[in-house]
Structure 1
Amino acid sequence: MYAYLLITHSYLRWLVLISLVFGLIFSFIKHKKRKIYTQNDYQLFNGIKNIFNLQFLLGILLLFQSPFVQTFWKQISVAVKWREVRFFGLEHPFMMILSVVLINFFVHKSKTKINTQQGFKYLFIRLLIIFVLIFLSIPWSFSPFTSRPDFRLF
């Protein structure tokens, strides 16, 4: 089951990133055109948030099954010195949990911006921060922290 969760989690990151980039572009264009943030726009960003939440649930399941995480918590004093174990046991989960909490909070708070022009600017700035957090915390094939394939095979 661990292997299937890992593969699903790995591929779902692309949907998360695509939806986040879409949200950034959408909010930037709407802000530049001085459009009013509507209930429909809120529902769109709520959908993006739900994609994050699905990925988060898969990540939590992986957290409890990952050999890296289990190794990290069994031998914390030694494991913090191992880059890969520390990354998957501490850094990646912490940054991703922070990102999910932030997107849930910001999208919820954007509901107060409905029928104003500030909603898109508000979300653009906050989604950009979340994008940076997530992009730096993903184990890319080119990452200096830890390297994983961008596309896993079954």
Structure 2
Amino acid sequence: MYEVVQFIHSYWAYLVLFMLLIASFNAIIGFVTNKEYGSTNFQIALFTLIVSHIQLLIGIVLYFSAPYFKMWAEEGMGGVMSDSTLRLYNVEHPLMMIIAIALITIGYSKHKKKLTSKPKFKTLAIFYTLALIVVLSRIPWSAWF
């Protein structure tokens, strides 16, 4: 089961990253060019929110089924924190991805309350770009390539 979930999590991450890039650039361009916020912009923001939350659910299943999770019992807190690979997979990656998804969720929720286009784009640009930076900072790049 672990291998299947890991495969899905790894390849779904490409979709999340792609959508987060599209949503961030769309929001930045919309803000800078004073575009009118339309249904396409809403759909991009919503789809980014949906795929990131699906990735979170897949990640939670992966986290508890992964061999790295068992290292908490075997190595203890000190052992996990002293090993950079274990720390990345058991602490840094999950925590930072949860923060990124929280940023996406907050940005999406806040943008819906804005009444005009410029503040909508500004809110999405800030929160989605911050989420993109957080995601890029803690992707285990060695496992991707």
Q: TM-score w.r.t. structure 1 length? A: 0.86
For residues 127 and 19 of structure 1, what CA distance do their matches in structure 2 show? 10
- Spell out, residue by residue over 1:7-45, the C-alpha distance to the aligned partner (whole angstroms, 9 max, x if none): 111111110111011111211221122123345533331
Give unpaired runs (5+ residues) of structure 1: 142-147
Give unpaired runs (5+ residues) of structure 2: none
Please say which of residues 47-56 and 115-124 is displaced more in the overlay. Answer: 115-124
The structure with the greater share of residues assigned to helix is: 2
For residues 2 and 73 of structure 1, what CA distance do their matches in structure 2 show? 18
Change (3 A) 1:56 1:118: same
Instruction: Tell me if the contact between 1:38 and 1:115 (Cα under 8 Å) persists in the aligned partners.
Output: no
What does residue range 1-154 of structure 1 map to in structure 2 within 5 Å? 1-38=1-38, 40-74=40-74, 75-141=76-142, 148-150=143-145
Query: How far did residue 77 of structure 1 move?
Result: 1.9
Instruction: Tell me if the contact between 2:30 and 2:121 (Cα under 8 Å) persists in the aligned partners.
Output: yes
For residues 67 and 46 of structure 2, what CA distance do their matches in structure 1 show? 33
Structure 1 stretches of at least 4 aligned residues deviating more than 4 Å after TM superposition: none
User: What SS is found at the alignment partner of 1:34?
Assistant: coil
Instruction: Tell me if the contact between 1:95 and 1:133 (Cα under 8 Å) persists in the aligned partners.
Output: yes
- Spell out, residue by residue over 1:61-81, the C-alpha distance to the aligned partner (whole angstroms, 9 max, x if none): 011111112203541122210
RMSD: 1.6
User: What SS is found at the alignment partner of 2:70?
Assistant: helix
For residues 40 and 73 of structure 2, what CA distance do their matches in structure 1 show? 44
